Amino acid sequence: MYHLVPYLHFNGNAEEVLNFYKDVFDGEILTINRYGDSPMKGDESLNDKIIHSRLKFGNNVIMISDSFNGQLANTGGNIQMSVEVDDENRIKEVFDKMAEGGKVTMPLAKQFWGATFGMLQDKFGVNWMFNYEGEKAEQH
């Protein structure tokens, strides 16, 4: 069995991102390790930054860290985080929270294929898709 676990890198604001996503998804931070805790000595200006973290929500895990100095993390490319939601009220709540300070690129609405679907770029530049399949989702 496989589990795909996204690993998101940020330019010095990983802790803010981690806490925002924790609140949006009502998740639990499982791990936070900081550069200063690492046995590898490096740039001391990174000591308080996150070298590795794990956020769990539902059956999902996202890993988040700050990039090393000089290695810019780019967001908004060809990857989108896609979230299947199994409750119609919950998708609206999560979508609206994630959209705060970001940009809705496709409003949450019933689509021709029968799902409620929407897309946005969050305030950190990460692209997200949210999908609710209706009765099909509730049967799983």
What's 101's domain CATH number?
Answer: 3.10.180.10
Rounded mean pLDDT, 79-83: 94
* Residue 75 forms part of a structural domain: no
Looking at the DSSP bridge assignments, the partners of residue 82 are 129
When divided into structural domains, the chain yields a total of: 2
**Measuring CA to CA, how many Å separate 111 from each of 9, 48, 121?**
32, 44, 19
- Residue that finishes a domain, picked among 43, 66, 89: 66
Looking at the DSSP bridge assignments, the partners of residue 55 are 29, 62
Q: Is 104 exposed, middle or buried (0-12, 13-18, 19+ CB in 10 A)?
A: middle
Checking if the pLDDT of 136 tops 60, the result is: no
Cβ 62 vs Cβ 5: under 8 Å:
yes
Checking if the pLDDT of 58 tops 50, the result is: yes
As a whole number of angstroms, the longest Cα–Cα distance in the chain is: 54
Q: If we measure between CA atoms, which residue out of 19, 21, 16 comes closest to residue 6? A: 21
* Residue 72 forms part of a structural domain: no
pTM for this model (two decimals): 0.90
- Residue that finishes a domain, picked among 66, 94, 114: 66
pLDDT at 70: 63
Q: What is the pLDDT of residues 6-48, one digit of tens each?
A: 999 999 999 999 999 999 999 999 999 999 998 887 788 889 9
Q: Which of 20-24, 65-69, 75-79, 134-138 has the highest mean pLDDT?
A: 20-24
Q: What is the pLDDT of residues 85-114, one digit of tens each?
A: 999 999 999 999 999 999 999 999 999 999
Do residues 85 and 61 share a domain?
Answer: no
Enclosing domain of residue 111: 81-138
